Amino acid sequence: MRLVIDPTRCHGHGTCAQLLDEYIRLDKWHYPIVAKQKVSVSHADLLRRAAQLCPELAISIVDE
């Protein structure tokens, strides 16, 4: 699975970085930097939750 954030939608609330601290850190403007795109299967549920909780629906999960 791969984690992709649509930068045109993201408003930098940072909810995702709290849930997915292994994968996402925030830059100095509080926008997410995806440090690791590939998400391990064991974190799939967490990723799905983060995608649901993003207020802008900016997070997509790409299955590959």
**Which positions touch another protein (CB under 8 A)?**
4, 6-12, 27-31, 33, 60, 62
DSSP E strands in the chain: the ranges are: 2-5, 24-26, 32-34, 59-62
Smallest distance from another protein to CB 40, Å: 21
**Contact footprint for ligand SF4 (CB under 6 A):** 5, 7-8, 10-16, 32, 54-56, 58-59
d(CA 49, CA 30): 20
User: Which SS3 state, helix, strand or coil, does residue 11 take?
Assistant: coil
Shortest Å, Cβ 63 to ligand SF4:
19
